[in-house]
Structures are given as C-alpha cells and as structure tokens.
Amino acid sequence: MSKLRLKIMLLAVLLISGFAWVIMTQGPLAPVKVTMEKIQTGTLSSEVFGVGLVEARHSYAVSPVMTGRISKLLVDQGDQVKAGQIVAELDPIDLNDKLVSSRLMAERAANSIKVAEAQLVQAQSQVKTISASHRRYSELQAQGFVSQELLDAKLNEKTAALATLDAATASLAVAKRDQSKAQSDAAGINKLHEQTRLISPVSGIVTARLVESGAIVVPGQAAIQVIVPSDIWIKTRIDQKQAGMIRAGQKAAIVLRSDPQKSLAGVVERVDLISDAVTEERIVNVAAPGIHASIGEYAEVTIKLPVLEKTRSIPTAAVKRINQQDGVWVLQDDRAKFKPVKTGISTLEGRTQILEGLSDNEEVIVYSQQEIKADLKLKVVAEIVRN
C-alpha cells in the first residue's frame, strides 16, 4: 500500500506541476509573447497616399443677365464649344421691334440735322447780305442821301436776320442732341438684344445643360456649364500628419477608378492653405496633363516625397496612440512600459520616422500576442504564431 500511495502522490505532484507549468507558461498567468526590433538609421524613401476626385480647376457657368424665357438651346452635354459661341437664346419679346424703331429714330434725327444745317447756312447768308446792306445805308445816311427811317428799317432787318441765325443754330444743336439720344437708345436696345444670347466664355466641353427650352431663367442662374478639358486636376485628401513635406512640383502617380490597371503621371499643382479640422486632412491638388476621366470620378494618388538620409525609423506597427499621445511600448525588467515619441513621416512600406523620444540603441515592441498594458509581463520571441 505504501508503494501505491507513493506512486499516487508522485503522479499528483507531476499533474500539479504540469498544470502549474501550463498556467505559468501558456495560460492566463503566462508572459505575453512579443516581438521586438531595434531602431534603424538609414535612408527613408517615403510616399504619401490619398484618395481624390477628378475636378475641373475652373468651371464656367453660362448664365443670363436678364430675366427671360429660353427660346433655343443650341448645345448639349458633351458638345465642343468655341469661345464666343452662342449656346442658348432668350425670347426677345418686343426687343426686335424696339430695335427697328430706335434705328428709324436715329435716321430721322440724322435727317433733322441736315435740315437744321441747311437752315443755318441760309440764316448765315441772310445775315451777311443784310449786314452789308445796313453798312451801305449807314454811309448814305451820313451823306444825307437816305432818311433815318429807311436806315432804321435796315437795322430791323439785320436784327431779324441775326435772330433767325440764333434760332437756326439752336435748332441744329437740338437736332444733334436728338440724334445722340436716338443713337444711345438704339445702342442700349441693341445691347439688351445681345444679352438675349448666352455666349460661351471659353473653348471647351459642355458638362451640363441645366435648363430646357421654355424655362424661365433669372440673372445669375446657370443654364450651361463649360469646362476646359486640359484644365483638370485631382482634388486629393491627405492625412495632415503626412502632408507636411508635400510641395508644389512633386511627382505623383494616379490610378483612376475606371482604369485600375493603368498608372498615370501627375504633378502636385497646389497645396491648400486651409486644412479640414474635422477629418484632419489637407487638400492637395494634383494635375494630370492629358488625363481623360469623367468629372467626379474617384482616383488613387501616390505622391513621391524627397528621400531622407540618415533617418531613424521603426516599424509603423510599433507606434501606438494612447491618451492623445504617440508612443511605443518598450521592455524594462521583462515588463511593458509606454514611452512617448515624436514621429515624422510614415512610408507605405510600413516604417515611421522617429524624431524624438528614443535613443539609437533602443528596441521597441512591434507585435504582441495580445493587447499590451503597463507593467504587463512580457516574453520576447522571434515570431508570434497565430492560431
């Protein structure tokens, strides 16, 4: 019996030891397995990725400057137009009749000027003749050959001729003012008539026809929308943390949603000064010369950043954000400790630049068997096998 008890006790000890070993090494009390990597110093070639929309850099809305009814629409979506081309017309109502009437009034004013000019020439001739006759009678009266009454009659004739000359001069001035007014009225009505024609300001493509024939439009209401095909770019949203090194002129690769197998060459045209505070993104406009895409199409944009030399970096997977602070988990006395760091750019290959917070010889935890918490017991392994 003693031997049997001894064997049972030995077996129990073995079971308890095995169970304890499992708990301490594989169970909930076991250290969390982690992989670590030392900070590296070298060349960091970075790219920034973003998603954008194909947009026209400038969109031209053709709209009327007067209220009216659309009588003709001469273009449709997709049509090519030239600068100065008529794309739509408004119903002129009675402007055609008013234009004809104003032109007739201008012609009438021109004829009135001719009549007034003839009357002025006649009055000037009469004044000249009567003035000469009055001088002769004055000389004769001084010599006693004519009476004072006859000289006074000649003076009255001269006064009447001068009054007729003043009247002719005034009539000519009135006729000229009437002609100027008639011409101004005709020009104004002609401008109103021209405003019934909607004209494309540029040579381009019609992207939208926003009204139909018979519709009433008001000043400023867009009727036709035109863009210049060569004036297209990709409005790209880039995370603010990655946008700091983006500059105009940098090269980019564009992949359209409609042609995912083809990469197009682009260039950063402009980096907007205002960022989106809600999405924490910055708008980067990337031009793509010769691109053929629909307005509003999605595109993936990859921007090549300058190569950084002698730059310290760690795997991006090692960077964690806790309580609004970027940092990494390090190992101290087999325990986890969170260490704040200041990061720079992150590459698409999965590396992040370290600016402050780590020395050149430190190691950081990259992957862990489970979520890491402060003072958690850890065990470094070469590789974590996922079940």
Q: Give tens-digit pLDDT for 103-152.
A: 888 888 888 888 888 888 888 888 888 888 888 878 777 787 777 888 77
Q: Give tens-digit pLDDT for 158-187.
A: 888 888 888 888 888 888 898 888 888 888
**H-only helix segments in 143-250:** 148-194
Residue 245 per-residue DSSP state: T
Residue 300 pLDDT greater than 50, yes or no: yes
Residue 33 pLDDT greater than 90, yes or no: no
Longest CA–CA span in the chain (Å) reads: 191
Q: From the CA atom positions of the chain, what is the Rg in Å?
A: 47
CA dist list (Å): 260 to 253, 264, 344, 348: 12, 10, 30, 19
pLDDT for res 58: 85
Question: Quick one: tokens of 246?
Answer: 């983006």
Burial grade of 318 (CB within 10 A; 0-12, 13-18, 19 or more)? buried
What is the SS3 assignment for 171? helix
How many Å apart are CA 185 and CA 98, to the nearest integer? 9
Residues in Cβ contact with 380 at an 8 Å cutoff, skipping those fewer than 6 apart: 33, 34, 35, 36, 331
List the single range of 2-11, 20-29, 57-66, 349-358 with lowest mean pLDDT. Answer: 20-29
Q: b/e for 117-144, b at 16 or more Cβ within 10 A?
A: eebbeebeebbeebeeebeebeeebeee
For range 81-99, the mean pLDDT: 85
Q: How many CA atoms lie within 13 A of 364 on its CB side?
A: 26
pLDDT for res 23: 47
Answer yes or no: pTM beyond 0.75. Answer: no
Question: Quick one: tokens of 127?
Answer: 């004044």
How many Å apart are CA 167 and CA 120, to the nearest integer? 8
Q: If we measure between CA atoms, which residue out of 60, 90, 64, 59 comes closest to residue 221?
A: 64
Q: What residue type is assigned to position 3 of the chain?
A: K
